[in-house]
């Protein structure tokens, strides 16, 4: 929990900032998608992130729950 800093005004901002530091290295083929990014989609109280590897097409997904203020 110590790595989470209050640098955003909303839970989504904080989450988006957090994801900027997530690696974009494909777990399937090892391709480093330096120019890529996670796509965020909010669904109710959670955020679904997806990243499609441009090399092999593998799809990685991560889901985060937003804090309720």
Interface residue list for Zn ion (CB under 5 A): 26, 28-29, 31, 53, 55-56, 58
Is 58 or 66 the residue whose CB approaches Zn ion more closely?
Answer: 58
Phi, psi (degrees; rounded to nearest 5) at 12: -65, -40
The answer to whether residues 63 and 43 touch, using CB atoms and an 8 Å cutoff, is no
Other Cβ atoms closer than 10 A to 26: 21
Is 8 or 30 the residue whose CB approaches Zn ion more closely?
Answer: 30
Minimum separation from the CB atom of position 33 to Zn ion (A): 8
Minimum separation from the CB atom of position 30 to Zn ion (A): 7
């Amino acid at each position: 929990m110590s790595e989470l800093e209050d640098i955003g005004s909303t839970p989504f901002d904080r989450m988006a900032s957090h994801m900027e530091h997530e690696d974009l290295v494909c777990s399937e083929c090892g391709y480093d998608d330096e120019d890529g990014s996670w796509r965020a989609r909010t669904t109710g109280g959670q955020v679904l992130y997806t990243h499609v590897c441009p090399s092999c097409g593998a799809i990685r997904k991560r889901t985060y729950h937003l804090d309720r203020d």
